[in-house]
Amino acid sequence: MSRKPFRLFAGLVATAMVLAACQSASESPTGSEQASSSAAPTGQEVTVIGTWTGDEQDSFLAMVAPWEAETGNTVKYQGTRAINDILAAGIPTGVLPDLAGLPGPGQMAEYAAAGALKPLDDVLDIATYESETSPALVALSKVDSTTYGIFIKAAVKGLIWYNPNLHDYSSAPPATWDDLMTEGAANQGNAEALWCLGIESGDASGWPATDWIEEILLHQAGPDVYNQWWAGDLAWTDPAIQSAFETYMDVVNNAYGGGTNAVATKFDVAGDPLFADPPGCALFHQASFITGLGAFTDKTAGTDYNAFPFPAFNDQYATAVEGAGDLFGMFHDTEAAKSLMKYLVTAEAQDIWVQRGGALSPNKNATSYPDDISGLMGGMLTGADSLVFDASDQMPTAMNAAFWQHMVSLTAGHETIEQALSILDQVRGDAYAQ
């Protein structure tokens, strides 16, 4: 009997603590909203979510540090791989960060139409922004001529990396795919296989393989077919797509460790066998950001690794470039958030990440690249006349997820090209219908 009051009290304390935890958890996303009422944007907090973790997170924080020092505001950054889900759940409920990375232009248009994204035309100095930024990327950040997004950093997708100690392609990079295959085989040396391939990436596994398909399709069939395809206007069973898949399977069959190893290897370390002795492979396809990941981080550009652009299948489409970028949007137009957005597009801000490596700047005046290769890629990005955006990132999420999933099954050898394409075409009927 004497112990009962104690038990009651313990129960109450436990309940109270749970409630307290809930309270503080629900408070953080809205805490910054109070900032909008305050006139002087100093001492404010700007909540930001993005997909960057590890080195990339450090680089972003380094990028905003001067702004924090200057304005006295702070950036509260959270890196998450579930950003799509957080935003998709946040749009109807309104629980959103001040600034966030956006999955792609498609989602940006969707969020803008829902009224969640704030237009940036009055926030940025539009004239300067447009004169400094790659025109193709400016176009991608607009919805019906209103700017809703900015690119913090960008990447060029179609690059083939190699180890110059095995064979130096820099004086005469292969011009066509056929040249690449013959020269690659001839210069393979003691490398175990021609290609390195790794497509594991947690629940997004398969995306490096979708990049392969995109790159092949773009150079085989051209930008028009490419754009029709991601927009859902082309059947997956179309001969153009079929042909791209067949070329990809040639790569899988010549990959280090085969398809099994490709599906079990994480994309960021997939290129590491380039530097092994004897090398596991001679060539590796990945976007420009690979220089900030895996074994590339300890190596020297130019002497330990080098790259050439994806070769042409067809002269007509030789100069087409596939780019990708980290789009950023604003969900709460507080003074501090606006000031941060304005700062992030400047050459001064973008130069910080560029200098740290692993990023290309969409801003033409941010040119402090740490090495010649990065400089060259930066030029490819800002100078490209025909630039297409990552196709799978522009597909509806269900289509994109199915594309990833079937690339994994196909690469692992559990499906044939015909099976994969016919299922993907069924998904197309469903995914674009929404």
Point out which residues bind other proteins (CB under 8 A): 9, 12-13, 15-17, 19-20, 23-24, 27, 31, 84-85, 88-89, 192, 202-206, 256-257, 260-261, 263-265, 273, 280, 396-398, 401, 404-405, 408-409, 412, 414, 423, 431, 434
Complex with other proteins: residue 94 or 135, whichever CB lies closer: 94
All residues at 6 or more sequence positions from 233 whose CB lies less than 8 Å from its CB, including other chains: none
Report which DSSP code applies to 310.
P
End-to-end CA, the chain:
62
Render 54-120 in DSSP notation, one character per residue: HHHHHHHHHHHHHHHHHH--EEEEEE-S-HHHHHHHHHHH----SEEEES-HHHHHHHHHTT-SPP-
Complex with other proteins: residue 123 or 431, whichever CB lies closer: 431
Separation in Å, CA 100 to CA 48, 117, 148: 5, 10, 12
- The minimum distance between CB 259 and other proteins, in angstroms, equals 9
- The minimum distance between CB 97 and other proteins, in angstroms, equals 17
Complex with other proteins: residue 224 or 418, whichever CB lies closer: 418
β-bridge partners, 344: none
Instruction: Provide the H-helix boundaries in 117-206.
Output: 126-132, 135-140, 177-186
| SS3 call for 212 | helix
- The minimum distance between CB 227 and other proteins, in angstroms, equals 23
- The minimum distance between CB 275 and other proteins, in angstroms, equals 13
- The minimum distance between CB 36 and other proteins, in angstroms, equals 18
- The minimum distance between CB 364 and other proteins, in angstroms, equals 36
How many helices (H) does the chain have, and how many strands (E)?
Answer: 16, 12
Complex with other proteins: residue 236 or 317, whichever CB lies closer: 236
- The minimum distance between CB 388 and other proteins, in angstroms, equals 24
Neighbours of 306 (CB within 10 A): 21
Complex with other proteins: residue 20 or 126, whichever CB lies closer: 20
Nearest partner of 229 among 84, 390, 111, 102, judged by Cα:
390
Complex with other proteins: residue 210 or 355, whichever CB lies closer: 210
Task: Report how far residue 423's alpha carbon sits from residue 183's, in angstroms, rounded to the nearest whole number.
Answer: 36
Complex with other proteins: residue 9 or 168, whichever CB lies closer: 9
Task: Report how far residue 394's alpha carbon sits from residue 69's, in angstroms, rounded to the nearest whole number.
Answer: 37
- The minimum distance between CB 49 and other proteins, in angstroms, equals 15
Measured at the alpha carbon of residue 341, what is the angle toward residues 338 and 344, in degrees to the nearest 5?
150
Report which DSSP code applies to 195.
E
Render 236-299 in DSSP notation, one character per residue: TTSHHHHHHHHHHHHHHHTBTTHHHHHHHSBGGGTTGGGGSSS-SEEEEE--GGGGGSGGGGGS
Torsions phi, psi of 62, nearest 5?
Answer: -65, -35
- The minimum distance between CB 26 and other proteins, in angstroms, equals 10
Complex with other proteins: residue 13 or 185, whichever CB lies closer: 13
- The minimum distance between CB 192 and other proteins, in angstroms, equals 8
Complex with other proteins: residue 188 or 355, whichever CB lies closer: 188
Separation in Å, CA 378 to CA 27, 45, 102, 161, 237: 41, 32, 22, 16, 35
Complex with other proteins: residue 204 or 320, whichever CB lies closer: 204
